[in-house]
Structure 1
Amino acid sequence: MEHWLWIILAALFFECKGADRVIQPTGDVIAAEGDTVTLDCSFETSNPSPTLYWYKQEVNNFPKYILKCFSKTVENADDFEKDRFNATIINNSVPLKIQKLQLSDSAVYYCALQPTVTGNTKTLYKNLWSKDNTILHNIH
């Protein structure tokens, strides 16, 4: 039996230096177990060497750090396999590629531009659920 995945991609808008921000596209994406998906995230920054982050938030849970990208380097969190979760900064975008999709990949995904609030979950939740934040991507 084929299982369908539901992934929500939400953007957090962190003000860094005036107009610095991340932009994630809207719309629904449907994927099945074993598929590969790419979740888009573009950004605007005055920083010539930006650092971008991807996070995953499962239902009723805190956001989990997946990886960060800077320059030509990607650092994955221990919980996320590099062969399944990967991203690269390309022309002001940092698409997240998830391969060999599993049912456990169903979650909210979002990207952030440094500085983030990784050590302050109270502020992160405030930003995540504020009226200015919108859910931008459904994958199911």
Structure 2
Amino acid sequence: CKGEDKVIQEQGDVIAAEGDTVTLRCRFETSDASPTLFWYKQEVDSYPKYMLKCFSETTDKAEEFNNDRFDAKINKAEKSVPLKIQKLQLSDSAVYYCAVRP
């Protein structure tokens, strides 16, 4: 019997100023011993854009997010994959989604 794979984002709105650093939390539940987690960014009136994926000790970023401002790593002990955004810019204002590969 396979359990349900899911992510939990309980944080709600995050208020921050330009130049700040924020960490967006995401917990996951999966029966996969080596899960793959994703982060997406959705701006107003647009579709969710793929940002990055984390698997094992590796983080693979989309070209647009392939810089030092964005980082995420899987924390297996906490079953979480926090997304850290540094040097915040106005253009970072969006809804962020994490997802787990089923």
**Would the TM-score normalized by the shorter structure come out above 0.5?**
yes
Residue in structure 1 matched with residue 98 of structure 2 by the alignment = 111
Mark the runs of 5 or more structure 1 residues left unpaired by the alignment.
1-16, 116-140
Paired residues, what number?
A: 99
Residue in structure 1 matched with residue 88 of structure 2 by the alignment = 101
Ranges of 4+ aligned residues in structure 1 off by more than 4 Å: none
Mark the runs of 5 or more structure 2 residues left unpaired by the alignment.
none
The CA distance in 1 between the partners of 2:70 and 2:97, in whole Å, is 13
Residue in structure 1 matched with residue 53 of structure 2 by the alignment = 68
Shift of 1:25: 1.3
**For the aligned residues, what is the CA RMSD?**
1.1
Q: Percent identity among equivalent residues?
A: 72
Of structures 1 and 2, the larger Rg is shown by 1
TM-score (norm 1): 0.68
Task: Answer yes or no: is the 8 Å Cα contact 2:11–2:25 preserved in 1.
Answer: no
The CA distance in 1 between the partners of 2:14 and 2:100, in whole Å, is 24
The CA distance in 2 between the partners of 1:49 and 1:82, in whole Å, is 25
TM-score (norm 2): 0.91
Shift of 1:27: 3.4
